[in-house]
Structure 1
Amino acid sequence: MQYKEILLSFLFLIVTLTVSHAQRPEFGVNAGGSGYIGEFNQFNPLKISGLNAGGFAKLNFDPHWGLGMHYNYGRIQGDDARSKNLELRNRNLNFQTSLHEVAIIGSFNLFDMYSPGSRKRISPYLFLGVGGIIFDRYYLYDSPDGSRTAYLLKGVMTEGVEKQLDRYAVVIPYGAGLKYKKTENWTLFGQIGYRATFTDYLDDVSGVYPNAPIADLRNNGYIVSDRSGEIRPNGLNLYNPGDQRGDFRKRDTYLFVNIGISYTFVSPKCFTF
């Protein structure tokens, strides 16, 4: 509800500024792949593990600068069982996270495609912003019959720390793209954008293995904290309390790779402020 109110307020601002000035409002949708860099993917910044989709409302102040309100839904995941790293396969953890993102993003077109009389139809662009996410973490359990079930980790402390209960985080979106002006109103675009986050628990893995009494304070977090014994013949876990569970990075990162289409309301007036 809070995000909806912010979006409606921004749409009202766009309409007000458009009526009183010659700024050009733009509305668009996008879809593509989602990726993530963290404890399950430490070295491949382009790895895609899920899908995303979203939309935006934007105000173009001049042929180069614009500011928009963006909403995106995405899903990311990781699985030690599919890793090439033996240590990670032995760890035998996994996760799936769904996230809702709302961000205010400024963009800069390198070329002028929108001034009256401009013949340019293609322009690279850069963007940078600030936003927030609401996210839910799941762990995936493989049953003996071959089925896989996702269990929500809400309220579960698999490392025995209160930070794992947070579902909100601030994010810094940044990236680049390429747009093609098909007509005066319609634009096609493709982009890649990373999100620097202020959390290390997008994947529910960060620190060390907990003591059982601490983790059990919240819905038996100890049970899903160490799953290494599930793949060992003797069924015994490999790790002890205090052993490293995550890597030494302090924050996770995720990315969206999108293609999209937008519609710009073109005014016969020149851009003004």
Structure 2
Amino acid sequence: MILKTVRTLLVCTLVQIGSVFFALPATAQQQTGQPKTTSELGIGIGGVVYKGDIAPRYRLKSNRPALNIFYKKDISNAVAWKVGLLLGKIKAKDEDFTDNPSFLARELPLSMYRQATVTTSILELSGGIDYKFLDYYDFRRPIRWTPYFTVSVAGIVYNNKTIAQNPAIIYPTDADKQQAYRTGFALAVPVGAGVKYALSERWNLGFEAGVRVLFTDAFDNLTDQNEQVMNPNSRDLYFYNGVSISYTFYKINCPVK
């Protein structure tokens, strides 16, 4: 369901981006002679949540702290380029989904058998675009705010360790591996939505939530090494949600002769 939703959002985004860029010549003509261009530098705090084999459902209580630093450069009234750096830590336990024997345990026998815990530190570097639905820099509006949609491509470096009560379940050939951390690399597509509100002419308050769809199923160390403890149909991903504060830079453009 999540992957179908993401695919739908990506198609809608490409349509919106195409309409914006085809309209750029007209927009550029309208903006010729305007005295300002804008960019934005910000920092956000929030939480990250992993979903995969060890955490088959989104669980609000599983949020772990995350720090988000970003820079955005407006290229039109609607579109802004952006780059971002996300630091976070993720932890998930099978027992978190089997602590209600009357309901969850009957649905998750694999989690009861595996009894694994994964701890992961992540460093994410991304680049993409924001699409704003309202003209955020129209100062004639008494309240400046806009919802926006965001899509990026990200490279992720992660360092993690997966352990189980019975190490042979996770590492059938080398149980000592569960004592060591493993460093891995992955690509992802971050997709999300947010709201931005102007606190003043230069300061902005934002809220954003989204999902990182990973191009790997080894994020939790559960791969085809032991098919008895993993679900090949469960795609690893993680969510980010947080609040941010940013500062807008205005560049005064010299008139074109």
Q: Same fold (TM over 0.5)?
A: yes
Q: Aligned in 2, Cα 1:71/1:124: closer, same or farther, shift over 3 Å?
A: same
Question: Residue 39 of structure 1 contacts residue 206 of structure 1 at CA under 8 Å; is this kept in 2?
Answer: no
Q: Distance in 2 between matches of 1:151 and 1:170?
A: 26
1:168 aligns with 2:196: no
Q: Which runs of 5+ in 1 are unaligned?
A: 1-20, 143-149, 155-165, 210-242
Query: Deviations for 1:149-197, whole angstroms, at most 9, x for unmatched residues?
Result: x94332xxxxxxxxxxx71111101100111111111000011011111
Aligned twin of 1:153: 181
Aligned twin of 1:35: 49
Q: Aligned in 2, Cα 1:74/1:24: closer, same or farther, shift over 3 Å?
A: same
Aligned twin of 1:95: 118
Aligned twin of 2:229: 245
Q: Letter of the aligned partner of 2:147 in structure 1?
A: P
Query: Deviations for 1:34-87, whole angstroms, at most 9, x for unmatched residues?
Result: 111100122337664311102011111223210111000111121112222442
Q: Distance in 1 between matches of 2:61 and 2:190?
A: 17
Q: Aligned in 2, Cα 1:43/1:139: closer, same or farther, shift over 3 Å?
A: closer
Tell me the C-alpha RMSD between the 2 structures. 2.6
Q: Distance in 2 between matches of 1:267 and 1:186?
A: 16
What SS does structure 2 have at the residue aligned with 1:199? coil
**More helix by percentage:** 2
Q: Letter of the aligned partner of 1:44 in structure 2?
A: Y
Q: Letter of the aligned partner of 1:53 in structure 2?
A: L
Question: Residue 120 of structure 2 contacts residue 159 of structure 2 at CA under 8 Å; is this kept in 1?
Answer: yes
Q: Distance in 1 between matches of 2:68 and 2:145?
A: 23
1:187 aligns with 2:204: yes
Aligned twin of 2:146: 123
Counterpart pick for 1:79 among 64, 82, 93: 93
Identity %: 25
Counterpart pick for 1:54 among 56, 60, 68: 68
Q: Which runs of 5+ in 2 are unaligned?
A: 1-34, 99-103, 166-177
> Shift of residue 131 of structure 1?
1.2
Q: Letter of the aligned partner of 1:35 in structure 2?
A: V
What SS does structure 1 have at the residue aligned with 2:95? helix
The normalised TM-score by structure 1 is 0.66
Question: Residue 203 of structure 2 contacts residue 245 of structure 2 at CA under 8 Å; is this kept in 1?
Answer: yes
Query: Deviations for 1:107-159, whole angstroms, at most 9, x for unmatched residues?
Result: 011111213434342211100010100001123578xxxxxxx94332xxxxx
Counterpart pick for 1:63 among 77, 81, 104: 77
Question: Residue 190 of structure 1 contacts residue 259 of structure 1 at CA under 8 Å; is this kept in 2?
Answer: yes
